[in-house]
Structure 1
Amino acid sequence: MPHITLGSDEPGIRGLFRYRPETAGPLNELAEVLLRGDSTLSRGERELIAAYVSGLNQCRFCCSSHSAFAAAQLPEGAALVEEVCADPSAAPIPAKLRALLAIAAAVQQSGRNVTGEHVAAARAAGATDREIHDTVLIAAAFCMYNRYVDGLATVAPDDPAAYARAAEQIVAVGYTGTARPATS
């Protein structure tokens, strides 16, 4: 049960967005740019970063949501998402994504935990400065989103089908409700 009365039965961040629509707009716009905007990282890869960080933060709603969103946009689907969230060092992913996930994990601990070695490893694996930047920002933003969701004790559905339905909507119309063509 949420710590405050939200006036909505919507789970997780969706209930919080209904409670404060004036803050929902900018937060959804940030998610839209980070996870669906122009990028050399695919939408699925960016959702995977969000899911991974949310899992590290033990935010059940966000991890389940973004895992479903990643699975819906990655050819390897849910099996790969589960492997990455369990142990990215053993998952069958490109070296660049593995290096970016290491940066995301460092950000999740503290922004100051990102080292020159992390950045050098990502660059050596083919990551661009923009991909490194966006990975840091996705990780930092999801630490905020996770703390927002869990700090107010929002409800997280137990039924995986609820997250799959949300994934269909996110893939179709995004975070702001306006469909954009896939560019990555």
Structure 2
Amino acid sequence: MPHIPLDENLPGITGLLSYRQDTALPIRQLTQILLRGESTLTEGERELIATVTSQGNQCRFCTAAHTAVADVLLGERETAEMVKNNPEHAPVSAKMKQLLEIARRTQADARTVSLELVEKARAAGATDLEIHDTVLIAALFCLYNKYVDGLATVTPTDPAFYDRLANILKTSGYMPSPNRYASLNETK
């Protein structure tokens, strides 16, 4: 049960963004820039960064949501699971493996993102902007994970909920729109 009154039809961060719309707008804008804006990283790769960060923070809502979004964007369900559970054997590039390690280190203790780790990412082909954005996405998702869990938001257990949310985020991105989440609680 959430610690504050939230719309029960808007689980996880969706309810929090609805609760405080003045703070939601800059949160949404930054998320849109980082996860859907111009980048040499694909949208799927950026969602993988959000996924591993959320997994490291044990945020069930964000892990499930961003795993589902990564799955939709990548067109399959194996990569996100492997990135979370067996990253060395995940079917991602050497560059992405290094960036995901930077994301994990940022999540666990950002002071462990060493020059050596950054140089490994560069050697694997990562640009300084990709390294920057990886750290910023991981830091941002640490905030989201703590926001969601700190206020004990509702976390659905039905995978179909996350599939519906993933399709909304794939199609509409992270900016607000009227009736944005109307289809979230539909039963199929």
Corresponding residue SS for 1:105: helix
Corresponding residue SS for 1:89: helix
- For residues 55-94 of structure 1, give each alpha carbon's deviation from its aligned partner in whole angstroms, at most 9, with x where no partner exists: 110000000000011111114x211111111121221211
Partner Cα separation in structure 2 for residue 59 and residue 125 of structure 1: 30
Residue 92 of structure 2 aligns with an amino acid whose one-letter code is: I
| Superposition deviation, residue 137 in structure 1 | 0.2
Partners of 1:8 and 1:18 within 8 A in 2: no
Partner Cα separation in structure 2 for residue 30 and residue 66 of structure 1: 16
TM-score (norm 1): 0.93
Partner Cα separation in structure 2 for residue 23 and residue 177 of structure 1: 12
Q: Where in structure 2 are the equivalents of 1:147-158 lying within 5 Å?
A: 147-158=146-157
Tell me if 1:105 matches 2:115: no
Partner Cα separation in structure 1 for residue 176 and residue 95 of structure 2: 31
| Superposition deviation, residue 175 in structure 1 | 0.4
Give the structure 1 partner of residue 173 of structure 2. Answer: 174
Partner Cα separation in structure 1 for residue 27 and residue 5 of structure 2: 21
Tell me if 1:130 matches 2:129: yes
Partner Cα separation in structure 1 for residue 176 and residue 147 of structure 2: 21
Partners of 1:8 and 1:19 within 8 A in 2: no
Residue 48 of structure 1 aligns with an amino acid whose one-letter code is: L
Partner Cα separation in structure 2 for residue 62 and residue 78 of structure 1: 16
Partners of 1:50 and 1:139 within 8 A in 2: yes
Residue 122 of structure 2 aligns with an amino acid whose one-letter code is: R
Partner Cα separation in structure 2 for residue 6 and residue 84 of structure 1: 32
Residue 153 of structure 1 aligns with an amino acid whose one-letter code is: A
Give the structure 1 partner of residue 57 of structure 2. Answer: 57
Partners of 2:28 and 2:176 within 8 A in 1: no
Q: Where in structure 2 are the equivalents of 1:69-88 lying within 5 Å?
A: 69-75=69-75, 77-88=76-87
Give the structure 1 partner of residue 185 of structure 2. Answer: none
Partners of 2:107 and 2:138 within 8 A in 1: yes
| Superposition deviation, residue 16 in structure 1 | 0.6
Identity %: 54
- For residues 112-167 of structure 1, give each alpha carbon's deviation from its aligned partner in whole angstroms, at most 9, with x where no partner exists: 11001110000000000000000000000000000000000001110111111111
Corresponding residue SS for 2:87: coil
Q: Alignment length, in residue pairs?
A: 177
Partners of 2:68 and 2:163 within 8 A in 1: yes
Residue 50 of structure 1 aligns with an amino acid whose one-letter code is: A
Partner Cα separation in structure 1 for residue 12 and residue 31 of structure 2: 15
Q: Tell me, which stretches of 5 or more residues in structure 2 are unaligned? A: 178-188
Give the structure 1 partner of residue 17 of structure 2. Answer: 17
Residue 14 of structure 1 aligns with an amino acid whose one-letter code is: T
